[in-house]
Amino acid sequence: DSGVTQTPKHLITATGQRVTLRCSPRSGDLSVYWYQQSLDQGLQFLIQYYNGEERAKGNILERFSAQQFPDLHSELNLSSLELGDSALYFCASSVGRSSNSPLHFGNGTRLTVT
Amino acid sequence: QQQVKQSPQSLIVQKGGISIINCAYENTAFDYFPWYQQFPGKGPALLIAIRPDVSEKKEGRFTISFNKSAKQFSLHIMDSQPGDSATYFCAASRNGGSQGNLIFGKGTKLSVKP
């Protein structure tokens, strides 16, 4: 068990809708990362927060947004959903602000857009 | 564009054999090269990592070989076991700055036959 908790495990929704994915990092970890995993693209970095502030941005669409709250949990908001957004979304956490420290991944949220 | 190219896409090895997965990178600023292991239904978990100041790192049956001049690194699994059957991802990152996030290869699905 990595200590990173993601909810929900599965999410099925329709195109055009909005969903929120939640992540609780490992105790003591200040960084939270969001990754999207699809069969053809592999693991794609979306965004990183460190102690409540945005630290790095990757291939995150404008329809997607995230935040990290004072208690360090994070939420990823996906809006105007399209079929192509169907994927596994992983949250990871680490102690430091750099990804050169080990990342601890949750078990992911599987999003299906119909 | 920063990339990490991983091969092969899939690998079948007999129990007791050696599994070898290769990765190549482009950005010479990368200074951290981890390997992650992912079982079905789980998030990736750090297996072993290396920094460019060493050419080899061994942990149990798992060894990373690193060739800085060729910009390549590989994972060797000695005495492969059926329990090693999983998807393996190589990754790379550079410390610091807004680009300090892990870039993953597309993964290698390893099947170890009994």
The verdict on B20 touching A (C-beta cutoff 8 Å) is no
pLDDT per residue over A81-103, tens digit each? 999 999 999 999 998 887 677 89
Evaluate if residue A114 carries a pLDDT over 60.
Answer: yes
**Is the CB of residue B57 less than 8 Å away from at least one CB of chain A?**
no
Residue B106 in contact with residue A42, Cβ under 8 Å? yes
Residue whose token pair is 């599987």: A110
**CB contact set of A41 (below 8 Å; sequence gap of 6+):** B106
Q: How far apart are CA B70 and CA A64, in angstroms?
A: 38
Question: What does the pLDDT look like over A51-75, one tens digit per residue?
Answer: 999 998 988 999 999 999 999 999 9
Query: Chain B partners of A107 at a C-beta cutoff of 8 Å?
Result: 41-43
- Residues contacting B82, CB < 8 A, separation 6+: B15, B112, B113, B114
Side chain identity, residue A33: Y
- What was the pLDDT predicted at A42? 84
Calculate the average pLDDT of chain A: 94
Hey, is A10 helix, strand or coil? strand
How confident is the model over A29-51, as a mean pLDDT? 91
Residue B14: in which H helix or E strand, if any?
strand B10-14
pLDDT tens digits, residue range B12-43?
Answer: 999 999 999 999 999 888 889 999 999 999 99
Contacts of A102 in chain B (CB under 8 A): 34, 46, 49
pLDDT tens sequence across B45-104:
999 999 988 999 999 999 999 999 999 999 999 999 999 999 999 999 887 544 457 889
Q: Which CA distances in Å does A97 have to A20, A53, A111, B110?
A: 24, 11, 28, 32
Predicted confidence band of residue B3 (pLDDT cuts 50, 70, 90): confident
CB pair distance less than 8 Å for A100 and B100: yes
